Each structure stands twice: as structure tokens, then as C-alpha cells.
Amino acid sequence: MSDMVTVGSYLDPMDVQFARLHLEEHGIRAAVVETSNFDPTLIGVSGGIRLQVAEKDELQARTLLRALANERTEIDPDADAGEVRCPRCELAYCFFEPPSLRGVAPGATELGVFVAAILRFGPKRWTCHKCGHRWDDPNEGPKRPTVLKPGDPRPVFRLKRSAPGMGAFMGFMVGAGFVLASGFAPILVLPAAALLGYLIGNSLNRDVCSEPSCRKQLPAHAETCEGCGGFVAGEIRRAAEHFAEAAEARREIVRMRKARKTARRKRAEASGG
Ligand SMILES: [Zn+2]
Ligand SMILES: [Zn+2]
């Protein structure tokens, strides 16, 4: 136990457990070292929750954790060119298949589409299992995902979340307590309490960062995420929209960088000649 080294530090207890399990699946014993205080706002100050392994496993652990991080952010700049990528979200979770539930689920709004997906009825098309996009030409997507440079803002989104179901349940429980204590007729109290809870839950939006490996709560008006440092580029309603929106934002950032570069070059040419 004397030769333990730190191979990662994490802000989110879920992330560190995920990483520990990943190492143990590959036969590496890992220990989670919690900071001494329990104030979640101070974890970052004291270096996060650390993941440690025996010194002899350090190199393999770091390699595994790096691969895991790439997998979780879904963007691997060294990914093989040649696989089919989705033109919309740029990820390589693409299959040539008839309408399928996995393909349409994130965007299914029409009953006809939904029924076709259940029956798997319709022509085979390329289908993205991340964002639900369907298209025909396998070469339409990019060969590689658009990758940002260090220093570029990394786009994340405000994932709007409300909890009407939880609210209704809490309302029901409070109502039940009230019925037991007061002797009022349940039929008068419970539906009203559940409805009130539903409305309260529906109005309380617990917005979180849309980055799948982050999901830290975002305060109202926050412009950056405290959890992952991402730049809040907009709002989404469903977690699956993150991939397509993030790809669009990355393409926009790269377009703007190129436009700035061209403008600078033209200015230099104009003043030089
Ligand atoms: Zn896609
Ligand atoms: Zn975040």
C-alpha cells in the first residue's frame, strides 16, 4: 500500500466510481481517496477526489483512463477515418437499416414515424443512433469530427429539466401525511396535493450542463459550466440533442476562426502591397 500514486482527480463522485470500475474491469486495483471535508463546494479547492493505483500499474491505468475520457466525450481526434459519420452530429454510431426505434427515438414526434420504427417498415437508410438523423449518402458526413483547438471555447448546453412526476409524488406523500394527522377524507386531499406537487415540480427547472460526462447543475444565467469549464452556447430540452448541437457549435467556431484568419491575411496583404 506504500507505493500508491494518483492517476486522476475528479470533482464528481460518480465520475470517480465510473473510472475505478473501468480500471477494475481491466484487472487494476484502484482506491478512491476522498478529501477530508464534506462540503461539495470545497472539493475543487482541495484537489478533488483522487483515484490511486499501485505504482507498477500507473502507466496502464493512465492509458485506460485517457481512452475512457475520449470515449465519454465522444470526440477522438485520432479516430479512424473511413468509418461512416453522421453529417449532423459527426459521431460514428451509424447503421444502414430500416426505420428503427433506436434511430428515431430522440426525435420522434410523428405517430407515423414511430409506428414505422416499431414495425421496422421502410427503406434502409443510414441512421445515427446518437441523434436520430437519417440520410442516404455514406460520404455525406465528415471523414473526421470537427475538433477544436486548445483555447477555443468548448460548447455545452443548458439542459432544461423539470420534475413534475417527482413533484406529484411528493405532493401525494405530504397529502397522505396530512390525511393521517387530520382525519380529512383522502378523496378531498390527495388529488389536490398531487396536482399542486405536479405544478410545483413542473415549474422548478433544475438545469444541468448537457456534457454527458459532466451534468453539473447550472445556475440561472451562468455563461460557463463550473464542472467542466464548458461555454454555455444555448439551451436544449432533451439530452440526446447535445451531440448534434455541439457539432454545429464546433463547426461555427472553426468557421469563425478561419474567417478571422482570412481577414487578417487580407489586411496584411493590403498594407504590404
Ligand atoms: Zn447524428
Ligand atoms: Zn459541464
What does the mean pLDDT of the chain come to? Answer: 81
Surrounding ion ligand 2 within 5 Å at CB are 209, 211, 214, 225, 227-228, 230
CA of 258 to the centre of ligand 1 (A): 24
Q: Cα separations (Å) of 220 from 68, 146, 158, 208, 211?
A: 31, 29, 9, 10, 17
Q: Considering the domain boundaries, does residue 9 fall inside one?
A: yes
- Supply the pTM of this predicted model: 0.55
CATH code for the domain in which residue 21 is found: 3.30.70
Q: What pLDDT, on the 0 to 100 scale, is given for residue 47?
A: 52
CA of 208 to the centre of ligand 2 (A): 8
Q: How much of the chain, in percent, has pLDDT values that exceed 90?
A: 22
- From 73, 102, 118, give the residue that closes a domain: 73
Q: Considering the domain boundaries, does residue 273 fall inside one?
A: no
Q: Considering the domain boundaries, does residue 92 fall inside one?
A: yes
CA of 209 to the centre of ligand 2 (A): 5
CA of 166 to the centre of ligand 1 (A): 31
| Together in a domain, 29 and 54 | yes
Surrounding ion ligand 1 within 5 Å at CB are 86, 88-89, 128, 130-131, 133
More confident residue, 51 or 74: 51
Model confidence pLDDT, tens digit, residues 32-53 = 887 554 444 444 444 567 889 9
Q: Highest-confidence range of 5-19, 28-42, 196-210, 249-263, by mean pLDDT?
A: 249-263
| Together in a domain, 177 and 213 | no
| Together in a domain, 67 and 11 | yes
Range 109-132 average pLDDT: 79
Q: Considering the domain boundaries, does residue 150 fall inside one?
A: no
Q: Considering the domain boundaries, does residue 242 fall inside one?
A: yes
Give the count of domains, the chain: 4
CA of 232 to the centre of ligand 2 (A): 9
| Together in a domain, 124 and 90 | yes
- From 73, 105, 126, give the residue that closes a domain: 73
| Together in a domain, 96 and 44 | no
The enclosing H or E element of 24 equals helix 13-25
CA of 247 to the centre of ligand 1 (A): 9
| Together in a domain, 48 and 108 | no
| Together in a domain, 220 and 189 | no
Name the nearest CA neighbour of 148 among 263, 86, 229.
Answer: 229
Q: Pick the ligand that lies closest to the CA of residue 246.
A: 1
Range 117-135 average pLDDT: 84
More confident residue, 108 or 159: 159
Beta-carbon count within 10 A of 120 CB: 12
Q: Which domain holds residue 94?
A: 81-145
Q: Considering the domain boundaries, does residue 98 fall inside one?
A: yes
CA of 69 to the centre of ligand 2 (A): 14
Q: What pLDDT, on the 0 to 100 scale, is given for residue 86?
A: 92
Model confidence pLDDT, tens digit, residues 248-271 = 999 999 898 889 889 999 999 888
Q: What pLDDT, on the 0 to 100 scale, is given for residue 29?
A: 93
Q: Pick the ligand that lies closest to the CA of residue 225.
A: 2
| Together in a domain, 106 and 56 | no
Sign of CA pseudo-dihedral 179, 185, 189, 194: positive
| Together in a domain, 246 and 230 | yes
- Using only C-alpha atoms, what is the Rg of the chain? 24
Model confidence pLDDT, tens digit, residues 137-149 = 999 998 888 888 7
Q: What is the residue type of 32?
A: V
